[in-house]
Structure formats: structure tokens, C-alpha cells
Amino acid sequence: MNNQNIVAKAIYDVVKEDLTLEQILRFLETPKSVDHGDVAFPAFGLAKAYRKAPQQIAQDLAEKIDGANFEKIEVVGPYLNFFMDKGAVTQAVLGQVIKEKNHYGDASIGNQGAVPIDMSSPNIAKPISMGHLRSTVIGNSIGFILEKIGYQPIRINHLGDWGTQFGKLIVAYKKWGSEEALQQEPIAELLKLYVRFHEEAEENDALNDEARAWFKQLEEGEAEAMRLWKWFRDESMKEFNKIYDMLEVSFDSLNGEAFYNDKMDEVVELLEEKHLLSMSQGAEIVDLTSYDLNPALIRKSDGATLYITRDMAAALYRKRTYQFAKSLYVVGNEQSYHFKQLKAVLLEMGFDWSNDMHHIPFGLITKDGKKLSTRQGKIVLLEEVLNEAIALANKQISEKNPDLENKEEVARQVGVGAVIFHDLKNDRLNSFDFTLEEVVRFEGETGPYVQYAHARAMSILTKADFQLDEAKEYRLNDEGSWEVLKHIQRYPEVILQAAEKYEPSVIAKHAIKLAQVFNKYYANTKILVDDQEKEARLALVYAVTVLLKEDLRLLGLHAPEKM
Ligand code: ARG
């Protein structure tokens, strides 16, 4: 139980007749200064029922409330200020963490159902962009967070592996490509071919006709076209996997756009059956005026289906395959309109579960406030960014702790973790700047800072040879411990909030805060001094390690024990 609940219950026991527990909870405030206690109740809310001045009511309540859980209850004007009994609360909270360990904060509400998470979803033959990185790490973290409250995440990489660009790539490869070059650096080579195609096609329109012809072959399943398509896809996948391996992200499904090729007819048939299709300039559309949206373009005049048609097939497939409780799409903000249309068309078709589909948008990564561009070869190669981050981490660890065993492994966990943490620490809709030196710093609000606080806490426990004892009662009464304890106590709410908002930054912010208050505690308190409370202080440090590690896990980071 958190402090607000404890206070509300104590007040409720006295004023049952006049206020509900919910009403009391709504009145409660957290005082700005610790001098005014942990929780405050303004007595105004009872003035009407009691026909008395709020000051008087506060006074009366203070005398009647059971003080068992409180150090003291102060009356200041119309306010009742509750000071929690730190010893009792510490004992309860630490007892719970020690018993539940990394499951502290799990919601015990049972199986909540499957949640497909459409995430990462890069396009074959193009480099993974920083946007795809964001989708990957945000989606991955949301998966862990939802799992903690009882959902079953299904991570889906909806690869962009189909479209007219494959006709162009086949033409370009046949004219100017080489098998060797492609195998050596698949993405760079495919990108080069793609750029060259566009340059040459500007002079020579016949190339576009050839590309269309090849794409048609591909759609008809012609052997040579299929072979090349599959080869491009496989080679691209190998490069993507290098990055996924570094990030330690894995997928339950790689069903991309091509997977739905044979599932598109059904979508069009369903729309026809429901008389939702109309013609507009030769194309088939669904009118969405009643949703205040532009029409959804389902099929072009040449019979080709579109991005949204594929997403409709995918939504149907996911509903049937997973019977999802909800279905998430972690895709950049710029596709908001697409997802509004997608949901509207499905609703129009009578699929109420469309309301369980949520677009989880996010902002851009910028450089000096400007969008990072993938055009004209100015691509930021993610693999390089990660490798540089690892090198930077390695350098700093070598300075701090030259004898560290498995330094390479720790540097990898710190470097890659720094990039992930930087991505997740801001509200996902915010755009943010990316400067590697900032990202890998050991001070400030960074991943390494949190990991370092965890490692420091671990080393205290090792030094003291702390042994877990579930039967022991740990009580602490000092202000310093109390500051740390409060951030342990509120953890279950932090988890629920992160899950409700699909917001990993809530977890990241908790991790930063906990690391900060712990570092302050460590600086001001002699933890290892031999006195009566030593064991209790160690239990508090232990709880800090459990929560920091869990925070990091939920974000997709490791918590090295030494660094
Ligand atoms: N491949 C797309 C892109 O890079 C993202 C796909 C998002 N997922 C989806 N189901 N539409 O823009």
C-alpha cells in the first residue's frame, strides 16, 4: 500500500458516513516541502457536511484518527499533515522487495491476453534509419513493460519487403551490379544501385518501363524475379540482424508486406461485399467523410494494391492469429494519418476490435535541431554509431577501472545501452538531438550513469557480504533513507503509468531519479559502519539494486555487476 492509501484509509475510518475512499483520495495532496509531512489532507471537503470551519474539522479529525502508521499528524490551519511512521513503512516495503525480488511491481491481475507489437519494420535494400532504431527500442521496451503487467507481447517486424522498388533494383542489378559487391556490403550496394537507377531513369524513361515489367514478373511469381527478390531480402536481413544482435532485440514474427500478397483479395472482396468501395478517377476508394478523413485508396487503376490495403490484411491476420487484447503500431509520428484511416476503414467494415488498435507515434532524432536525412548518401549508419558508442564506453571504463575483467563485454553493454537509454529517456513524442559524446557520458541523465549507480550498490553488498533474509525485519527512521525508500515504494505505480501511456520514458525517469537519490545517500551516509541499523541500510541498498536492474531490463539494457 502506498502512503496515500494508508492515509486515506485512516481518514475514511473516521468519516465513513460523509466521504467515500475515492473522494478522500482525490483530496489528498503531496506537500511541496518535507517539513509538511508526506501526505496532506485539506479539510475543506467536509465543511459542508459538518457545518463547521475547516480548521475546527481538521482539529477534530486529528484527535480521532488512528495514529498507528504515523510518526505524527500535524494540524496547520485547515490542513492535516501526515508524517508517515518511517520505520513501519520501510519494514513493509523492504520486506516486499526482498520477498518478490525482480517481480516487485508486477501486476498480479493474471493473463491479460496477447499484444502484437508492430515494431522496427525497416525497408529491404535500404539502411535502417534512426527512425527505425527508435521504433525498435521503443517497441521492445513496451513489450517488456506490458509483460510485467500480465500481457503477452508478440514482437512483429513488418518488413518493407515488397513494392515497385524491387522492379527497379532488378533492372539496376542486371545492368550495373555484381554478385560480389552485393554480398560484401549488401545494403550499401543495393542503395547505390537504387540511386543510380533514379539518376539514369531521369535521362532514359525506358528504364522505368523495364522496372514495371520486372515488378509485374515478380507479382506473377516468375522464377528469376523471385530468386533475385529473395536474395536481396536475405542479404538485407543479414545486415539488419547484425544490428538486432547488437541491440539484443528479437522478433516473434518477420511477416512483412510480402507475406500478405495472397491475403489481399480477401480484403477487397470483403469491402465489395459490404458495398464500401467506390470509384474515383479509375481507382477504388473507401469514403471516410463521416470520420472527417480523406478517402482511403485501396486499389489503383492498374489493379495494384496499396500500403493501407496490406495493413488491413495484416490487421485481419493478427486478429485471427493472436486474438489480440490490443494491437500496437510503433511507427513515426508522420504516419499518424495513415493509421487513422486504417482504423476507420476497419471500423466501417464492422470490426469493432479496430478500437483496440493503437498507433504509438514518436518524434524524430535530429542533429543540431535538424532532421537526419537518408537521401544523397548522407546516411547515418546505425552499426557505426553503435560501434563508436562501444569504443567510447571502452575508453571511459579503461580509465575508471583498468583491471576490470570481461571489459569488452561490459563496454558493449554500456555503449549500446547508452544509445538505447538516450532514445528512451524523453517522452517518445519529443524530438531530440543525438550527439554521441553526450549519450555515452557517465554523468548526467544517461544509461551509463544508471548502470554505474547499480554497479556501485552491488559492490557495497559484496563488500559487506550481505545475505538475504526474508524473515528479518528491517526498520530505518532517518530522512536520508526515507528519500530513497519513497522511490522504491512508488514503483508499482510507475510500472502501471508506463504501461498505460505506452511510455518507456516513465521507467527511464524512475531509474535516473532512483540512481540520483541513491548516490546522494551513498555520499551522505556511512552505510557500512557497524551499528544497529547496518543490516537495514544494506537491505535498502539491496532493494536499490533490484529496482535499478529491473528498470534497465524493462528498457532493454544490461546491468553489469562491475564497471
Ligand atoms: N516500412 C515502413 C517504413 O519504413 C514502416 C511500416 C510500419 N508498419 C506498418 N504496419 N505499417 O516507413
Measured by CA distance, the residue closest to atom 4 of ligand 1 is: 122
Mean pLDDT of 531-535: 95
Per-residue burial over 523-547, b = 16 or more CB atoms within 10 Å of its CB, e = otherwise? eebebeeeeebebbbbbbbbbbbbb
Q: In the structure, what pLDDT confidence band is assigned to residue 375 with cuts at 50, 70 and 90?
A: very low
Enter the ipTM: 0.99
Query: What is the distance between the alpha carbons of residues 52 and 54, in angstroms, rounded to a whole number?
Result: 6
Would you state the pLDDT for residue 378? Answer: 45
Q: Which atom of ligand 1 is nearest to the CA of 335?
A: 12
Mean pLDDT of 17-46: 92
∠436-442-445 over CA atoms, to 5°?
A: 80
**Ligand 1 centroid, distance to 332 Cα (angstroms):** 9
Q: Are strands 365-367 and 370-371 parallel, antiparallel or unpaired?
A: antiparallel
Cα 454 to Cα 34, 95, 420, 441, 489, distances in angstroms: 27, 20, 17, 16, 18
| Beta partners for residue 1, in sequence order | none
**Ligand 1 centroid, distance to 122 Cα (angstroms):** 7
Mean pLDDT of 517-544: 97
Query: What is the distance between the alpha carbons of residues 424 and 139, in angstroms, rounded to a whole number?
Result: 10
Q: Which of 153-167, 370-384, 496-510 has the lowest mean pLDDT?
A: 370-384
Q: Which atom of ligand 1 is nearest to the CA of 338?
A: 11
Q: Which atom of ligand 1 is nearest to the CA of 332?
A: 12
Q: Which residues lie closer than 8 Å to 490 by C-beta, 6 or more apart?
A: 2
The answer, yes or no, to whether residue 373 has pLDDT greater than 70, is: no
The answer, yes or no, to whether residue 44 has pLDDT greater than 80, is: yes
Measured by CA distance, the residue closest to atom 1 of ligand 1 is: 160
Would you state the pLDDT for residue 358? Answer: 98
Q: In the structure, what pLDDT confidence band is assigned to residue 409 with cuts at 50, 70 and 90?
A: very high
Mean pLDDT of 255-266: 95
Q: In the structure, what pLDDT confidence band is assigned to residue 518 with cuts at 50, 70 and 90?
A: very high
pLDDT per residue over 182-216, tens digit each? 988 888 899 999 999 999 999 999 999 999 999 99
The answer, yes or no, to whether residue 430 has pLDDT greater than 50, is: yes
**Ligand 1 centroid, distance to 406 Cα (angstroms):** 38
189 burial class (0-12, 13-18, 19+ CB within 10 angstroms)? buried
Cα 214 to Cα 159, 182, 218, distances in angstroms: 21, 19, 6
Would you state the pLDDT for residue 377? Answer: 42
Backbone CA torsion sign across 262, 267, 268, 273: positive
**Ligand 1 centroid, distance to 158 Cα (angstroms):** 7
Ligand 1, pocket-test mutation among 133, 138, 157, 158, most atoms within 8 A of CB: 158
Edge-first strand listing for the sheet containing 296-299: 277-280, 283-286, 296-299
Would you state the pLDDT for residue 302? Answer: 81
Q: In the structure, what pLDDT confidence band is assigned to residue 303 with cuts at 50, 70 and 90?
A: confident
Phi, psi of 71 (to 5 degrees): -70, -45
Phi, psi of 206 (to 5 degrees): -60, -30
Measured by CA distance, the residue closest to atom 5 of ligand 1 is: 121
Helix, strand, coil percentages in the chain from 3-state DSSP, rounded to 5? 60, 10, 30
CA–centroid distance for 202 within its chain: 42
**Ligand 1 centroid, distance to 440 Cα (angstroms):** 29
Backbone CA torsion sign across 142, 148, 151, 155: positive
**Ligand 1 centroid, distance to 459 Cα (angstroms):** 44
Q: Which atom of ligand 1 is nearest to the CA of 123?
A: 1
**Ligand 1 centroid, distance to 157 Cα (angstroms):** 9
How many Cβ atoms sit within 10 Å of the Cβ of residue 492? 16
Would you state the pLDDT for residue 230? Answer: 96
Q: Which atom of ligand 1 is nearest to the CA of 131?
A: 4
Measured by CA distance, the residue closest to atom 3 of ligand 1 is: 122
**Ligand 1 centroid, distance to 331 Cα (angstroms):** 7
Q: Which atom of ligand 1 is nearest to the CA of 129?
A: 4
Would you state the pLDDT for residue 376? Answer: 40
Would you state the pLDDT for residue 113? Answer: 96
**Ligand 1 centroid, distance to 258 Cα (angstroms):** 12
Mean pLDDT of 17-24: 92
Q: Which atom of ligand 1 is nearest to the CA of 132?
A: 4
Query: 298 is written with which cell numbers?
Result: 485501396
Ligand 1, pocket-test mutation among 307, 331, 382, most atoms within 8 A of CB: 331
**Ligand 1 centroid, distance to 118 Cα (angstroms):** 8
Ligand 1: lining residues by beta carbon, under 6 Å: 118, 121, 123, 158, 160, 311, 314, 329, 331
pLDDT per residue over 282-296, tens digit each? 999 999 999 999 999
Mean pLDDT of 39-49: 88
Could you say which DSSP state residue 128 is in?
A: P
Ligand 1, pocket-test mutation among 117, 121, 133, most atoms within 8 A of CB: 121
Q: Which residue has the higher pLDDT, 59 or 381?
A: 59
| Beta partners for residue 84, in sequence order | 70
Measured by CA distance, the residue closest to atom 11 of ligand 1 is: 311
208 burial class (0-12, 13-18, 19+ CB within 10 angstroms)? middle
pLDDT per residue over 117-138, tens digit each? 999 999 998 888 888 999 999 9
**Ligand 1 centroid, distance to 238 Cα (angstroms):** 19
Q: In the structure, what pLDDT confidence band is assigned to residue 383 with cuts at 50, 70 and 90?
A: confident
Query: 178 is written with which cell numbers?
Result: 555484381
48 burial class (0-12, 13-18, 19+ CB within 10 angstroms)? exposed
- Give a three-class secondary structure readout of 393-435: HHHHHHHHCCCCCCHHHHHHHHHHHHHHHHHHCCCCCCCEECC
Query: What is the distance between the alpha carbons of residues 527 and 507, in angstroms, rounded to a whole number?
Result: 27
Q: Which residues lie closer than 8 Å to 236 by C-beta, 6 or more apart?
A: 124, 125, 186, 187, 190
Compute the mean pLDDT over every residue in the chain, rounded to the nearest whole number: 94
Q: In the structure, what pLDDT confidence band is assigned to residue 372 with cuts at 50, 70 and 90?
A: low
Mean pLDDT of 345-354: 98
The answer, yes or no, to whether residue 532 has pLDDT greater than 80, is: yes
**Ligand 1 centroid, distance to 326 Cα (angstroms):** 18
C-beta separation of 395 from 545 below 8 A: no
Question: What is the set of domains in the chain, with CATH numbers?
Answer: 3-84 (3.30.1360.70), 113-260+322-365 (3.40.50.620), 382-555 (1.10.730.10)
DSSP annotation string for 34-85: GGG-SEEEEGGGGHHHHTS-HHHHHHHHHHHS--TTEEEEEEETTEEEEEE-
The answer, yes or no, to whether residue 397 has pLDDT greater than 80, is: yes
